[in-house]
């Protein structure tokens, strides 16, 4: 339909300083008018957004769509479906594919496949080192020129500090950055659960927080000394948060992300020995969860990234030492952040910033604007509606989450991308 009228929605656009109730008229994919009361036109589709939030759509700079190589877990189409159901219209795929995203042809494949699916903007990151083996830098300039938005060996740390420093300098010199999976493998030592009371009581191989803390400290110091940017993936520990705060205060160009599961779940999830609780870094104790929540509120942590990591059911049924770490997250980020709004960690404006505008700016893109003349790229969500997480409501190909059977509050009703409705909770994609 060429005319869509969104009525009575509470519009929040942090970049354009909008935080009020407005009607929005969309004509042929463009926002034609924003006003307090717009009368409906003949033949106009009306969306009643009363008691709902209308905001720029979301951006996730850390997802695993498993394409190429492991599409039995997820692929670009099913990942895109899960993304728009969660309100996301921009996602960045991680390079731990088979083969790794370390060549121009694979970068182009990801972009072209995303455009072919057409539900959202699918962008690739590229590996820091060839094959993600930590030994030889990739051709960063060529990969960036082909469309890679940043560089990471995610799933594996850049172990060698000399190589990490060179990578930061190289990426920074071409207007990009390195994002690091911070884990000292000699300290993690094949641990599966956070080193604490739960792991000790259940006899699970412990993974000490120092494995994360020491690598975060190394990267912060390298950023401080080189003057180049570094991004800390899925930060989870209290000490790591304090280290990032210290380095930022000294002027280091550091950003950090936090996942929905590290904001909402603790190592208590291991109490029934369910390997759906296995993630990397591990789910931690309550004091760590509190630390990352307040760090997100204060800006020490810059935004939320889901680390959406699909795995097949049979893989997550393996023993804890053999099953792969990771859980899905694209449809759970909004309810997680809204829960923090309800608990007064921050307001709704900050919620939109951490889900939408801040991650967009980090990867050098202009955030979608709710502004007359702009293409409609927005999300309408009900912050109060409850829904149950089950195999029907999860739209990812994989279902690996400990949230199965639980109720969440906050539901995406419509997602607009490139001027079109690409998702509604009534009709799906």
What is the C-alpha separation between 71 and 110, in angstroms, rounded? 13
* CB-based contact 399:311 (threshold 8 Å): no
Closest residue by Cα to residue 284 from 370, 191, 147:
191
Both structure tokens of 247: 């380095």
* CB-based contact 226:172 (threshold 8 Å): yes
Enter the DSSP assignment of 132.
Answer: G
* CB-based contact 307:234 (threshold 8 Å): yes
* Residue 206 burial (10 A CB sphere; 0-12, 13-18, 19+): middle
* CB-based contact 356:18 (threshold 8 Å): no
60 is catalytic: no
List Cβ neighbours of 253 (8 Å cut-off, separation of 6 or more).
223, 227, 228, 229, 230
For residue 338, CA distances in Å to 189, 264, 341, 350, 351 come to 36, 11, 5, 10, 7
- DSSP states along 232-287: E-S---HHHHHHHHHHHHTT--EEEEE-HHHHH--GGGGGGT-GGG--SSPP--HH
* CB-based contact 91:58 (threshold 8 Å): no
* CB-based contact 261:278 (threshold 8 Å): no
What is the C-alpha separation between 333 and 403, in angstroms, rounded? 12
Indicate which residue of 307, 347, 382, 425 is catalytic: 307
What is the C-alpha separation between 321 and 410, in angstroms, rounded? 35
Both structure tokens of 74: 């997820």
What is the C-alpha separation between 255 and 101, in angstroms, rounded? 23
Catalytic residues: 307
């Amino acid at each position: 339909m060429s005319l869509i009228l969104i009525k009575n929605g509470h519009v929040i656009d942090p970049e354009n300083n909008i935080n009020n109730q407005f009607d929005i008229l969309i004509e042929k994919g463009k926002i034609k008018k924003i006003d307090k009361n717009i009368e409906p036109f003949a033949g106009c589709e009306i969306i009643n957004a009363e008691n709902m939030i209308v905001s720029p759509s979301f951006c996730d700079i850390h997802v695993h769509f498993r394409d190429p190589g492991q599409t039995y877990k997820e692929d670009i189409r099913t990942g895109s479906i899960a993304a728009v159901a969660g309100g996301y219209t921009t996602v960045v795929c991680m390079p731990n594919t088979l083969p790794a995203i370390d060549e121009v042809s694979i970068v182009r494949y990801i972009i072209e496949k995303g455009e072919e699916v057409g539900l959202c903007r699918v962008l690739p990151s590229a590996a820091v080192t060839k094959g993600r083996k930590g030994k030889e830098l990739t051709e960063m300039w060529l990969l960036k020129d082909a469309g890679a938005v940043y560089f990471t060996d995610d799933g594996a740390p850049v172990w060698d500090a000399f190589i990490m420093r060179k990578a930061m300098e190289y990426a920074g010199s071409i207007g990009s950055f390195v994002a690091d999976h911070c884990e000292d493998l000699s300290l993690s030592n094949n641990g599966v659960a956070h080193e604490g009371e739960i792991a000790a009581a259940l006899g699970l191989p412990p993974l000490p927080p120092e494995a994360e803390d020491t690598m975060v400290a190394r990267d912060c110091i390298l950023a401080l000394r080189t003057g180049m940017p570094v991004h800390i993936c899925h930060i989870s520990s209290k000490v790591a948060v304090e280290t990032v705060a210290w380095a930022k205060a000294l002027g280091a160009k550091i950003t950090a992300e936090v996942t929905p599961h590290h904001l909402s779940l603790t190592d208590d999830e291991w109490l029934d020995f369910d390997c759906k609780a296995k993630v990397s870094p591990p789910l931690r104790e309550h004091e760590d969860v509190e630390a990352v929540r307040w760090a997100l509120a204060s800006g020490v942590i810059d935004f939320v990234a889901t680390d959406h990591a699909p795995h097949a059911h049979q893989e997550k049924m393996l023993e804890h030492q053999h099953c792969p770490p990771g859980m899905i997250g694209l449809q759970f980020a909004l309810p997680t952040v809204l829960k923090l709004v309800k608990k007064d960690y921050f307001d709704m404006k900050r919620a939109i910033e951490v889900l939408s505008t801040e991650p967009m700016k980090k990867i050098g893109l202009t955030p979608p604007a709710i502004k007359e003349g702009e293409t409609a790229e927005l999300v309408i969500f009900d912050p109060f509606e409850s829904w149950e997480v089950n195999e029907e409501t999860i739209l990812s190909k994989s279902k690996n989450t400990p949230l199965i059977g639980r109720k969440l509050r906050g539901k995406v009703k419509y997602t607009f991308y490139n001027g079109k409705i690409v998702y509604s909770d009534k009709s799906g994609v």
